[in-house]
Amino acid sequence: MIVSYNARDDLANYSPGTCLGIMLCDPQHRRGGLLHVMPPDSSIDPVKVPVHPHMFVGTGLPRLFHAIYNLGATRSQLGVKIAGWAQFIGAHTIFNIGQRDHHAIPSLLDRNGFSVHAADIGGAACRTLRLSLTSGVVIIQSLDTPAYPL
């Protein structure tokens, strides 16, 4: 997880493959944050929660929101964008982390009065994500496609 209040910053998440990049941005105040999550539920490895709480959707996403609020972001200005969940191995295997995250994220956001504003999920390519705090735009790039805004 990374957050910033420096309007000149670009926050990046390199190749979140089957994982997910969650980006929050308050473009008015130029505050933003990015979270790279892996498994959706910390109950699969409770020993890691105290050491790596940001790696799970259920424990990492609330921390991202709190961190960005602590930087002065305004709740009503926050936009949520997500990208990732590539599927490299069969769709019905234990490695289908993205599908499990897919159910956890909207539920958690909805309970807190948020929704996903934009998403680029699925497929079989890793993506690099860049959130510009100057513009609030997320740029997605993968090896097989040119960069494009989300």
Summarised one tens digit per residue, pLDDT across range 39-81 is 666 666 667 666 777 778 888 999 999 999 999 999 999 999 9
Domain CATH for 20: 3.30.1330.200
Domain range for 34? 2-149
Alpha carbon separation from 103 to 109, 135, 140 (Å, rounded) = 11, 29, 22
Rg (CA), the chain: 15
Instruction: Report the distance separating Cα 150 and Cα 139, nearest Å.
Output: 6
How many domains is the chain built from?
1
Summarised one tens digit per residue, pLDDT across range 110-136 is 888 999 999 998 888 888 999 999 999
Stated pTM of the model: 0.86
